[in-house]
Amino acid sequence: MSLPAEFALIARHFRPLAGAGALDLLDDAAVLDLPPGRRLVIAADAMVEGVHYLPDDPPETVGRKLLRVNLSDMAAMGAVPLGYLMTTAFSRGIADSWIAGFAQGLAEDQDAFGVTVLGGDTAVTPGPTCLSLTILGTVAPDAVLRRVGARAGDDIWVSGTIGDGLLGLRVLRGEVPADAEGHLARRYRLPQPRLALGQAIATVAHAGLDVSDGLVQDLGHLCRAAGCGAEIAAAEVPLSPAARALLARDAALLPALLTGGDDYELLFTAAPDAAAAVRDAAATAGIPVRRIGRMLAGPTEVVARDASGAVLDVARGGWSHF
Amino acid sequence: MSLPAEFALIARHFRPLAGAGALDLLDDAAVLDLPPGRRLVIAADAMVEGVHYLPDDPPETVGRKLLRVNLSDMAAMGAVPLGYLMTTAFSRGIADSWIAGFAQGLAEDQDAFGVTVLGGDTAVTPGPTCLSLTILGTVAPDAVLRRVGARAGDDIWVSGTIGDGLLGLRVLRGEVPADAEGHLARRYRLPQPRLALGQAIATVAHAGLDVSDGLVQDLGHLCRAAGCGAEIAAAEVPLSPAARALLARDAALLPALLTGGDDYELLFTAAPDAAAAVRDAAATAGIPVRRIGRMLAGPTEVVARDASGAVLDVARGGWSHF
């Protein structure tokens, strides 16, 4: 009996990615054991063609981004990733070479991040491709980084640089000029999950998350969870040289950088007297961090001030596909 | 700061479904502990509007089917379900009442099957709605039901009735007349995950899976995993009264019933001298089972014979959306 195309596709492209517990993707489910004494951490994120990635993005980076946005959720919890399940609804008539490139990207990042595929499902859709990934990780019981827990008076810290994802999207859409190095487009297509940093700060920070919806909006999540406010100094928010160059041409970009999505940096708060411990943790992880503001007693709102002390209009409050 | 529509949607429809470990869907991931001594079992299945369900299926049954096809994977492993994560890419402009109905269906089946939502993601797509669900369960280390392990000489057993899902789809498409009770359409829309049976037979059966691609094709999976063949007696395959009535009008339907998808019954093999134990397990679970054939030494092929002993043409070999 010949097998239908779906099974051949899984065998050709996805079975080589399977790891321990996946039962070679031949069973109805994966079976695995957690390392003793660790808690299970689990999250899921979806990506839709034309919404979360561009139809002409290379398939390798689409696969890598799908895995990385989920790994970023593990970073945000201080977790060590273990593996993932994936469901793919490929656009009907998609080229086999696209799926091969997508799987190749996954394979590269599996090696880079030490994870393997555990299971999933493959289907087709008459619409644009819909991808969904569920990431599993583990964490020590006393080292879970949560959104809740920020306190008035805490310093607010952020990793890496902010705004590159938004600008990368605008570059790829031809709305702003590209930087010569291609940094911005690369940042949109290949976020950097800050796993080592998340693990290093989990017991130092009071609260944290990854910036996926926009810095201001995600800081708002920390405020609502804590029942307090926040004030950030826009001039302290770390920007890449490419972002600085665009901002120098158009100062009105600043609120967009603070509210654009797709950063996948870690945003967290810690007591002021923990600043040295935060810097030590960041140095150990090899990931730059910057102190950008302070949590405040009072209403659960985020205020961003420019270098002159004026309040910036960031009321749009972040990115939503709805 | 006002929250965008995505957060309001999650708060309104999905947060009421959240259970222990979900952290109220407010964090980047769920955190949970497995019951001591149990292994984690995890699977994911996707459903696409117009492919896996009909655009005019009631949203309640779409939500319930999404959960149930995944619960069926837990049943196939002998696992006890624990909870689930879900990603939804809703068709842009979908009615809020549709999402409310979808969530209501999930709520009903959460109660019926003792699971809660642990996390996920909500997005929109310009195409048809794409739904993905990842189900978690646990199993005792010595009670995992696998696809591999069938032996030549084993009896082949199947639960419930076969072919109703295919016929239900044909009824809903207007291709065959509906039965007065609406049994067939209901079976297409609301599969019955055989959890109690899977748990009861896990240590009695040699191998098993759930029939989602078609009886013949899924039996082929057991054959390939075992390196042997199988012969089934079509007359022994259990059919519902509604399916029997349609078959009486059109005997040529029989191969379609044996290869149609969406049955979500359990198919398993056991040693002939375990037949009484199988019947006891089925009685305990309250789910009917029928012995339909035997595993054979020889090539990995499935032969289905009709009542006269003639070999039926089932070469199509099952359902694939590709």
Nearest Cβ partner for A46 among B121, B209, B318? B121
> Do the Cβ atoms of B166 and B229 come closer than 8 Å?
no
> Do the Cβ atoms of A163 and A260 come closer than 8 Å?
yes
- What pLDDT does residue A322 have? 42
Mutation target to probe the A interface, by most A beta carbons within 10 A, among B39, B42, B45, B148 is B42
A316 falls in which pLDDT band (50, 70, 90)? low
A320 falls in which pLDDT band (50, 70, 90)? very low
Q: In what order do the strands lie in the sheet with B289-296?
A: B207-211, B265-270, B155-159, B289-296, B229-233, B302-305
B146 touches chain A (CB under 8 A): yes
B88 touches chain A (CB under 8 A): yes
> Do the Cβ atoms of B74 and B41 come closer than 8 Å?
yes
A137 touches chain B (CB under 8 A): yes
Residue A321 pLDDT > 70, yes or no? no
Q: Over the stretch A54-104, which tens digit does the pLDDT of each residue have?
A: 999 999 999 999 999 999 999 999 999 999 999 999 999 999 999 999 999
Q: Which among A212, A186, A193 has a CA at the least distance from the CA of A58?
A: A186
Regarding beta strands A302-305 and B39-48, do their DSSP bridges make them parallel or antiparallel, or are they unpaired?
A: unpaired
pLDDT above 70 covers what percent of chain A? 97
B39 touches chain A (CB under 8 A): yes
For residue A94, the distance in angstroms to the closest alpha carbon of chain B comes to: 11
Residue A1 pLDDT > 80, yes or no? no
Determine whether the annotation assigns residue A206 to a binding site.
no
What are the b/e assignments for B219-251, b being 16+ CB within 10 Å?
bbbbbbbbebbbbbbbeebbbbebbeebbeeee
Q: What is the mean pLDDT of residues A300-304?
A: 95
- What pLDDT does residue A318 have? 47
Nearest Cβ partner for B42 among A85, A124, A146? A85
pLDDT above 90 covers what percent of chain A? 89
> Do the Cβ atoms of A101 and B28 come closer than 8 Å?
no
DSSP states along B300-314 = S-EEEE-TTSPBP--
Whether residues B32 and A40 touch (CB distance < 8 A) is answered with yes
Q: Which residues does A93 contact at the CB level (< 8 Å), separation at least 6? A: none
A4 falls in which pLDDT band (50, 70, 90)? low
Regarding beta strands A155-159 and A289-296, do their DSSP bridges make them parallel or antiparallel, or are they unpaired?
A: antiparallel
B198 touches chain A (CB under 8 A): no
Q: What is the DSSP letter of A297?
A: S
Q: Which among A49, A266, A255, A35 has a CA at the least distance from the CA of A139?
A: A35
- What pLDDT does residue A8 have? 84
How far apart are the C-alpha atoms of A121 and A2, rounded to whole Å?
20
Whether residues A121 and B128 touch (CB distance < 8 A) is answered with no
- What pLDDT does residue B261 have? 87
- What pLDDT does residue A315 have? 73
Whether residues B28 and A73 touch (CB distance < 8 A) is answered with yes
Nearest Cβ partner for B39 among A32, A43, A130? A32
| Sign, CA torsion B24/B27/B28/B29 | negative
**What distances in angstroms separate CA B164 from CA A207, B113, B233, B243, B302, one per listed residue?**
52, 22, 18, 6, 21
The ipTM (two decimal places) reads 0.94
Partner B, chain A 259-288, Cβ-Cβ below 8 Å: none
pLDDT along chain B (322 residues), means of 10: 67 90 87 93 97 96 98 97 97 95 97 96 96 97 95 98 97 96 97 98 97 96 96 98 97 94 96 98 98 96 94 68 42
B128 touches chain A (CB under 8 A): yes
Q: Which among B103, B121, B128 has a CA at the least distance from the CA of B48?
A: B128
- What pLDDT does residue B7 have? 77
The structural domains of chain B, ordered by start, are 5-139 (3.30.1330.10), 155-305 (3.90.650.10)
